[in-house]
Amino acid sequence: MSNLELDPREIRCAAGEEAGGEVLEGREVPLGGPRAMAVSRTLPGAHRRMIGAWCFVDAYGPQTATMRVPPHPHTGLQTVSWLVAGEVLHRDSLGTLQEIRPGQLNLMTAGRGISHSEESPETLLHGVQLWVALPGGHRHVEPGFEHHASLPVLSGPGFEATVMMGSLGGVTSPATAYSPLVGAEIAVDGACEVPVEPGFEHGLLLLDGEVAELAAGPLVYLPPGRSAVRLSGRGRVLLIGGEPFGEEIVMWWNFVGRTHDEIVAYRKEWMEGEGFGSVEGFDGEPLPAPVLPGTRLKPRGRVR
């Protein structure tokens, strides 16, 4: 890889080489309403909106908190729930009741429409909530839910990577994916070189510990063109990536669509109680949709 001239948003992301990493700072957002626990949202950002098909990254904790996200709808995406610490109970309009613990994957495919809730007792919570945009040919699939209690691991000198989505170094997750991508938690122990797909763009997020190339908080974007990511230290890192997503999308509230009119229709269906089913067993009312902006929502690509 040739040396790159870095701008102020860029950092040295691999020991000994200019990697051209773009730092995506997070913003604090209440999860599930104004009195809910706070999360750091690094994607979508002001400039970069997607990494592969990954279109949303929320990180939270470690903090002692109660998660309580009332029933709400989704379309055109998959939700990927991953915990470092704690436990979260998922309910959805398919009748699913599934707890998730660290090292397990909850994957919900919204497709044409689904609703769900998430809650936990007061406990130490630490994890990430991710969304994957569904490509045009699959965005209206039937909704579905998968729980994977164990996942495959790629091991190498100085690292072990649990592959939650897609493929990494020839190791493939059993979770359903609709586009070429990767999602993995990498346990770093010393200096390591993690193989990655050169045609993918990637993102790195420090989950815990100290990894020399990453600061706590921001998501670091790496453009396509590398065959490995070099890391050193001791800690856990989230790796996401995929082929650059070629479609423009409209992402508003909990919906991913393609046009303003689609989003208006989704909102109307939710507010009128149609199209998304109901979540049984949650003690509380569903979340109302916010008011739409006064201007038309525009489809946008990977960068603004």
pLDDT score at 220: 97
- Structural domain count, the chain: 1
Strand partners, 109: 78, 144
In the predicted model, what is the mean pLDDT of the chain? 92
pLDDT for 36 equals: 66
Measured over the CA atoms of residue 166, residue 130, residue 217 and residue 202, the dihedral's sign is positive
Within-domain flag for 196: yes
Residue 16 sits in which domain range? 10-242
pLDDT at 9 over 70: no
Looking at the domain assignment, is residue 104 inside a domain? yes
Helix runs in 138-272, H state only: 260-271
Q: What is the DSSP string of 261-302?
A: HHHHHHHHHHHTT-SS---TT-SSPPPPPPPPPSS----B-S
Cα–Cα distance, 280 to 72 (Å, whole number): 12
Predicted local distance difference test score (pLDDT) of residue 21: 84
Asked whether the predicted pLDDT for residue 32 surpasses 80, the reply is no
- Residue 206: CATH number of its domain: 2.60.120.10
Question: Looking at residue 38, what is its pLDDT?
Answer: 86
38 located within any domain: yes
Summarize pLDDT for 63-92 with one digit per residue, the tens: 999 999 999 999 999 999 999 999 999 999
105-124 pLDDT tens trace: 999 999 999 999 999 999 99
Task: Answer whether residue 102 shows pLDDT above 50.
Answer: yes
* The pLDDT of residue 30: 82
Residue 34 in any domain: the answer is yes
pLDDT, tens only, 264-296: 999 999 999 999 999 999 999 999 999 999 999
Please indicate, yes or no, if residue 299 is contained in any of the structural domains: no
Q: Which residue has the higher pLDDT, 182 or 12?
A: 182
Domain assignment present for residue 208? The answer is yes
Within a 13 Å sphere around the CA of 170, how many CA atoms are in the beta-carbon half? 2
Confidence band for 42, pLDDT divided at 50, 70 and 90: very high
Is residue 228 in some structural domain? yes
CA distances to 41, 250, 293 from 296, in Å: 24, 10, 7
Q: What percent of the chain has pLDDT over 90?
A: 88
* Segments in 111-253 forming alpha helices (H): none
In a domain, 302, yes or no: no
